[in-house]
Amino acid sequence: MQNTSFTYLKNVTTLELNPKLCTGCGMCAMVCPHEVLALADGKAEIVSRDDCMECGACAQNCPTAAITVDAGVGCAAAVINSMLGRTGDSCCCVIETDEKKARPQCGPGCC
């Protein structure tokens, strides 16, 4: 699968990987929606840090806690909250559709 860039902001993600704790199971790479992580030489590595939307799937699925990320602070949280109809501060803008349903839309100045 070819990675399509989803960069939100440069150098701000909270994603961290401790290679000493990594066993190379590959779960992080399997669950990452933006292909931020990959396996190389039997260990996970961060290949596109700025594409991380901080959803937390990698950390939740890491059996050795080699990955940490402050899930719920990035665009993933804003997208999920807006889809659930929650209002308040978020990193993403929400626009109204013709059907009067809010939908998230990231764009310049939003994320």
Using an 8 Å Cβ cutoff, are 3 and 20 in contact? no
Q: 16-68 maps to which CATH number?
A: 3.30.70.20
Residue-wise pLDDT for 44-79, tens only, equals 999 999 888 888 999 999 999 999 998 765 566 666
Domains in the chain: boundaries: 16-68, 75-105
- Output the pTM of the full model: 0.62
Rounded to an integer, what distance in angstroms lies between the CA atom of residue 57 and that of residue 50?
16
pLDDT (average), residues 17-39: 95
Q: Regarding predicted confidence, which is higher, 94 or 83? A: 83
Q: Which alpha helices (DSSP H) does the chain contain, by range? A: 27-31, 57-61, 75-83
